[in-house]
């Protein structure tokens, strides 16, 4: 069995630690590089200390040198850091798995363009279950296309900085696409005061932030006399990490191009 050389960005973060542990447990992968922000107090330390099992790979700050010889970088950081890493990966011919959220349209275009030179899996949620839900949402929206009001409700931990979540937005995009609508034109992101009756063509979003909620998402189709809800609840970040590792394996077989988790899971 050939080993995949994996690099992890944002190693000291919540997702970074989950990714480090998942790579350590994967029989076909080795941790080739662990990156963290410049000035990180974890720089120079054994990456395995972050999950309780020293592994011999030292956390570094210089991504260009660390990424040489890697097969794929897995990045769940912030948009600016991810784009910096993307540029280096493109120069070095290293594949990249991007789970970062909060990108602008212009930044997403840069990610798409990188697919001309390297393999890129870009998805707001790497969970296998969430991506199955996206497939179910497409089916549900096509069936419940008249007489149903649609709301997306999501909840995350107090530290999440973007809202709605990337997953919630992707769910909204899938539903809108199935209905022939443009989410940018029909989304409602907040309600307060006298808002008037609900416009039937809108897709509403409600956001909850608190505690240590890993990630809950529900899409509600509310009709006359019935409600249909498609819900996914994550209890551990391991589900996102395992999906990201699956994406890295996929890129080794698929080569350059822009992909999402629907491609990885064969749901298209």
* CA–CA distance, 160 with 210 (Å, rounded to integer): 9
pLDDT the model gives residue 54: 82
Give the SS3 label for residue 180.
Answer: coil
* CA–CA distance, 74 with 146 (Å, rounded to integer): 41
pLDDT the model gives residue 46: 86
pLDDT the model gives residue 62: 75
Q: How far apart are the first and last CA of the chain?
A: 29
Summarised one tens digit per residue, pLDDT across range 5-60 is: 999 999 999 999 999 999 999 999 999 999 998 888 888 888 988 888 888 889 89
User: Domain check: are 80 and 211 in the same one?
Assistant: no
User: Domain check: are 260 and 218 in the same one?
Assistant: no
Residue range(s) defining the domain that contains residue 82:
4-126+237-264
Question: Tell me, what CATH number does 217's domain have?
Answer: 3.30.360.10
Residue numbers of the chain with a pLDDT score lower than 70: 1
pLDDT the model gives residue 258: 98
User: Domain check: are 40 and 166 in the same one?
Assistant: no
Residue of 105, 66, 76, 88 lying closest to 247 (CA atoms): 76
Task: Using alpha carbons only, give the angle 40, 42, 45 rounded to the nearest 5 degrees.
Answer: 140
pLDDT the model gives residue 1: 59
User: Domain check: are 93 and 143 in the same one?
Assistant: no
pLDDT the model gives residue 39: 84
User: Domain check: are 164 and 188 in the same one?
Assistant: yes
Q: Residue 38: left (phi > 0), alpha (psi -120 to 50), or beta? A: beta
pLDDT the model gives residue 79: 96
* CA–CA distance, 49 with 130 (Å, rounded to integer): 30
Question: Tell me, what CATH number does 103's domain have?
Answer: 3.40.50.720
* Contact (CB, 8 A) for 248 and 99: no
* Contact (CB, 8 A) for 20 and 9: no
Say how many domains are in the chain. Answer: 2
Active-site residues, by number, are: 156, 160
């Amino acid at each position: 069995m050939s080993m995949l050389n994996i690099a992890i960005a944002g190693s000291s973060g919540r997702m970074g630690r989950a990714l480090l542990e998942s790579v350590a447990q994967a029989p076909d992968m080795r941790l080739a590089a662990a990156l963290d922000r410049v000035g990180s107090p974890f720089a120079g330390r054994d990456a395995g200390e972050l999950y309780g099992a020293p592994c011999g790979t030292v956390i570094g700050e210089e991504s260009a040198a660390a990424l040489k010889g890697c097969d794929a970088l897995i990045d769940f950081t912030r948009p600016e850091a991810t784009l910096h890493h993307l540029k280096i990966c493109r120069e070095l011919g290293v594949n990249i798995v991007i789970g970062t959220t909060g990108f602008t349209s212009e930044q997403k275009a840069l990610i798409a363009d990188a697919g001309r030179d390297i393999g890129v899996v870009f998805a707001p949620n790497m969970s296998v279950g969430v991506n199955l839900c996206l497939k179910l949402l497409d089916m549900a929206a096509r069936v419940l296309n008249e007489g149903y009001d649609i709301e997306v409700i999501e909840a995350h931990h107090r530290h999440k900085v973007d809202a709605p979540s990337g997953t919630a937005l992707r769910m909204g995009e899938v539903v809108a696409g199935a209905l022939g609508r443009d989410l940018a034109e029909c989304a409602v992101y907040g309600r307060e005061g006298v808002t008037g009756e609900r416009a039937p063509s809108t897709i509403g979003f409600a956001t909850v932030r608190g505690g240590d909620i890993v990630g809950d998402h529900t899409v509600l189709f509310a009709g006359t006399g019935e409600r249909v809800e498609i819900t996914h609840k994550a209890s551990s970040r391991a589900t996102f990490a395992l999906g990201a590792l699956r994406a890295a394996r996929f890129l080794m077989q698929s080569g350059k191009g822009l992909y999402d988790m629907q491609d990885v899971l064969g749901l298209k």
